[in-house]
A = this chain, B = another copy of it.
């Protein structure tokens, strides 16, 4: 069992978690502004991200914490974290090592554009 999160009560009180206790994490490359990926955080993931400076998320499929790059080496050094106005999302600005996406593309959105103006 994980022990309760050490996230400060000040921050914890501002989070608006979903039914699974998670907030969305938008991850942006600090230097270029590229949006790299969307991930999810529970309180402990946010606490570890803030305290270690290494981006740490909660995997919904594996139901556990993961440090980004812990197996791939494609780590994210966290430069800043901001909470949004209604507390259900954080924005991480990071320095990404290697590709951000597990498929090997630079971002999780690379090459996946949807047709605009073609839907009838």
Chain A interface helix/strand/loop/mixed: loop
Interface string of A92-115 (1 = CB under 8 A from B): 000000000111010011101111
- Count of A interface residues, CB-CB < 8 Å: 48
Partner of A109, one of B7, B35, B47, B84: B84
Q: Is the CB of B114 within 8 A of A90?
A: yes
Chain B residues, CB < 8 A from A82: 109-110, 112-114
Answer whether residue A3 sits at the interface, using C-beta atoms and an 8 A cutoff. Answer: no
- Chain B, residue nearest A81 (CB): B114
* Given A33-B34, A35-B28, A120-B51, residue A103 in contact with residue B115 (CB < 8 A): no
**Chain A to chain B contacts (Cβ below 8 Å), 27 pairs:** A11-B114, A24-B24, A24-B38, A26-B38, A32-B33, A33-B33, A33-B34, A35-B91, A37-B84, A38-B89, A50-B114, A50-B115, A50-B118, A51-B117, A79-B116, A81-B113, A81-B116, A82-B110, A82-B112, A82-B113, A83-B112, A83-B114, A85-B103, A85-B105, A85-B108, A85-B112, A86-B108
